[in-house]
Amino acid sequence: MTSELDQSADVDKGPDVTKSPAREFPGAGLVKGLATTFKTMTRHAHTVQYPDQPPELPPRTRGVIALLEENCTVCMLCARECPDWCIYIDSHKETIPAPPGGGRERTRNVLDRFAIDFSLCMYCGICIEVCPFDALEWSPEFEYAEFDIKDLLHEKDRLREWFWTVPAPVALDPAAEEPKEIAAAQKAADKLLAAQKAAEIVALAEPDAAAGAGAKTGTGSGTGTGTDSGAEGDG
Amino acid sequence: MGGAAHWWLEVGLRLVVILGFFLVVPLLVGQMEHKAMAHMQGRVGPMEAGGFHGWAQLIADGVKFAQKESVVPADADRAVFQLAPTVALLPYLVALVVVPIGPGTQVGVALDVGLFFVLAVMGVGVLGTLMGGWASANKYSLLGGIRTAAQLMAYELPMLLSAASVGMAAGTLSLSGIVDKWQWWWLPWQLIGAFVFFVSGLAELQRPPFDMPVADSEIIFGAYTEYTGLRFAFFLLAEYAGIVLLCLLTTVLFLGGWHGPFSAHLGWLWTVLKTLVLSFVVIWLRVSYPRLREDQLMRFAWTALIPLALAQLAITGVVRVL
């Protein structure tokens, strides 16, 4: 109808220029625009009414950092790796007296204070990555806004409360490699089974020397248990 | 004496009804804009105010505007600045007085030159924006005001020409007379005129996609930049009142006003219904199209709408003579 309408029609059909080399009817793009908005109106909204409707969070959501105090050995790795130094740890050493069977006294670290300042935290997750004993975990909880910024400093009891909200680990992808822990345990179990079978075969083959062979296999299975516990230790 | 009292009562009642219409329907259109625009963008719009789907959102907005401080810039032309929102809003109320809602006496004042009066008064409404733009002592306001003036110059002509075409067709300038004479075949006959009238009316109201005078990405909010509180709310209300009046006029002039089934009893309902449907189209256009550039805006008016309006005049003349 007019040059204006032609121009906007051109703009509208930008993506599929290759489809039709022939010029569309003037104003076709305008009609297409109206149709698009009308169609969108008849469909459901894409938004979520958040306070009334809880959001669907992805499984690895970084909501808040939770602490399982018992797993912490005060190695200070998290505090040192934290890019903005928002983890505060206080501890003292305690001496464990020598066991009655002999040996020497040992010292262990006792955690006095573990606090994360979430007003500084940038949710990079390095502390969780670096923790060798899985004392820190991500929790998907995110509703802990405060009126006073000082209240964003979560002490260890509050950090522990978050731990009960930590979800179970996400299931592995079906095509994924088997976890090392399972492989190691399976290997140990296989070994044990093989040793048992060998013992049975030996027992069947030499019923006379059963007692002596039994003692031998006993040592064999003992080694197997040793490997087993070693594998667990690796895990 | 008794007759005079009766007359005063009737006039008072008519004015109250018109004032009620003026205060309620623009809010209805505003709420429709909130919700329709939201759903067209895949949102749900206001949901909290008033409980049910945010029906009281505009009332809440009004309370908010009333609480805000009304600031007058130090360098502003105080009197003109303060007068501008009223000048923008009142003409739409005045114009509403002569628009017939239903057959017979369902009109504030049946004026013989109703069409002429309405168009003249609607033009005054735009002056409020001009005044605000000039008096604000702000370069963005001034730019917005100048753009408004340019737009008024460009689009007033096609609007008047297309309205004149209807006047020619009906042989009267009375709005009630035009609706009385209206036949269904006027719809195709005056189709071009309806298009030109509606589009240039949109442009005169500075509604998107013709909202260059308030293009917020370039000139903040044009002539309304310096306004706050209730004065700003008046400008906003004027915009919605303008939409209602434009849709009402398009209905009366081109869509047959109260004509429809059971028009003897439900004529007013047909008028209101057609007006609301047109208001929806106004909102629909706003959501669907991006803003026209200033040069596109001008070229569209001078090279498209005015020739179309003249063509419509010619068609109307030829058919009338035949």
Inter-residue contact A81 to A127 (CB < 8 Å): yes
- Distance from C-alpha of A221 to C-alpha of A191, rounded to nearest angstrom: 9
**Interface-testing mutation among A4, A7, A38, with chain B (most B C-beta atoms within 10 A):** A4
- Distance from C-alpha of B171 to C-alpha of A203, rounded to nearest angstrom: 122
**If you measure CA to CA, which chain B residue comes closest to A50?**
B47
The confidence score (pLDDT) of residue B8 equals: 86
DSSP state of A153: E
Query: By the CB < 8 Å criterion, does B292 face chain A?
Result: yes
Inter-residue contact B53 to B34 (CB < 8 Å): no
- Say which amino acid occupies B246: L
The confidence score (pLDDT) of residue A203 equals: 87
CA distance B114 to chain A (A): 32
ipTM of the predicted structure? 0.72
Inter-residue contact B100 to B176 (CB < 8 Å): yes
pLDDT band at A11 (very low <50, low <70, confident <90, very high): very low
The confidence score (pLDDT) of residue B1 equals: 53
Query: By the CB < 8 Å criterion, does A31 face chain B?
Result: no
- Distance from C-alpha of A45 to C-alpha of A225, rounded to nearest angstrom: 60
Question: What is the pLDDT of chain A when averaged over all its residues?
Answer: 80
- Distance from C-alpha of A56 to C-alpha of A225, rounded to nearest angstrom: 46
Query: Helix, strand, coil: what percent of chain A each, to 5?
Result: 45, 15, 45
Closest CA to B209 of B274, B145, B155, B139: B155
**Contact across the interface for B284 and A37, Cβ inside 8 Å:** yes
Q: Residues near A121 by Cβ (< 8 Å), separated by ≥ 6?
A: A65, A84, A86
The CA-based angle B231-B109-B129, given to 5 degrees, is 25
- Distance from C-alpha of B64 to C-alpha of B140, rounded to nearest angstrom: 25
A128-156 pLDDT tens trace: 999 998 899 999 988 899 999 999 999 98
The confidence score (pLDDT) of residue A228 equals: 43
3-state DSSP assignment of residue A134: coil
The helix (run of H) or strand (run of E) holding residue B59 is helix B57-67
Q: Which residues on chain A are in Cβ contact (under 8 Å) with B199? A: none
As given in the structure block, the two tokens for residue A94 are 């305690």
The confidence score (pLDDT) of residue A87 equals: 93
Inter-residue contact A137 to A160 (CB < 8 Å): no
Q: Which residues on chain B are in Cβ contact (under 8 Å) with A38? A: 40, 284
Residue A106, exposed/middle/buried by CB under 10 A (0-12, 13-18, 19+)?
Answer: exposed
**Contact across the interface for A1 and B304, Cβ inside 8 Å:** yes
Report the domain count for chain B: 1
Largest CA-CA distance found in chain A, in angstroms, rounded = 109
Q: Domain A64-163 is in which class?
A: alpha beta
CA distance A41 to chain B (A): 4
Closest CA to B142 of B73, B66, B71: B73
Q: Which residue has the tokens 């505009």?
A: B58
Query: By the CB < 8 Å criterion, does A20 face chain B?
Result: no
The confidence score (pLDDT) of residue A173 equals: 84
The confidence score (pLDDT) of residue A230 equals: 40
The confidence score (pLDDT) of residue A136 equals: 92
**Contact across the interface for A40 and B289, Cβ inside 8 Å:** no
A66-125 pLDDT tens trace: 999 888 999 999 999 999 999 999 999 998 888 888 888 888 889 999 999 999 999 999
Query: By the CB < 8 Å criterion, does B42 face chain A?
Result: yes
CA distance A39 to chain B (A): 8
Query: By the CB < 8 Å criterion, does A47 face chain B?
Result: yes
**Contact across the interface for B287 and A37, Cβ inside 8 Å:** yes
Residue A229, exposed/middle/buried by CB under 10 A (0-12, 13-18, 19+)?
Answer: exposed
DSSP state of B301: I
CA distance A19 to chain B (A): 23
- Distance from C-alpha of A129 to C-alpha of B257, rounded to nearest angstrom: 72
Where chain B has pLDDT below 70, the residues are 1-2, 105-107
**What is the number of H-type helices and E-type strands within chain B?**
13, 0
Q: Residues near A22 by Cβ (< 8 Å), separated by ≥ 6?
A: none
Between the CA atoms of A215, A221, A223 and A225, what dihedral angle is there, to the nearest 10 degrees?
-140
The confidence score (pLDDT) of residue A209 equals: 56
Query: By the CB < 8 Å criterion, does A150 face chain B?
Result: no
Q: Which residue has the tokens 């906007």?
A: A8
Q: Considering CB atoms only, which of A4, A37, A41 is closest to B304?
A: A4
CA distance A43 to chain B (A): 8
Inter-residue contact B98 to B114 (CB < 8 Å): yes
Parent domain of B113: 2-321
Query: By the CB < 8 Å criterion, does A27 face chain B?
Result: no
**Contact across the interface for B292 and A4, Cβ inside 8 Å:** yes
DSSP letters for B166-187: HHHHHT---HHHHHHH--TTHH
Largest CA-CA distance found in chain B, in angstroms, rounded = 63
3-state DSSP assignment of residue B258: coil
- Say which amino acid occupies B204: E
Alpha-carbon torsion (B114, B119, B120, B125), positive or negative: positive
Q: What are phi and psi of B279, to 5 degrees?
A: -60, -40
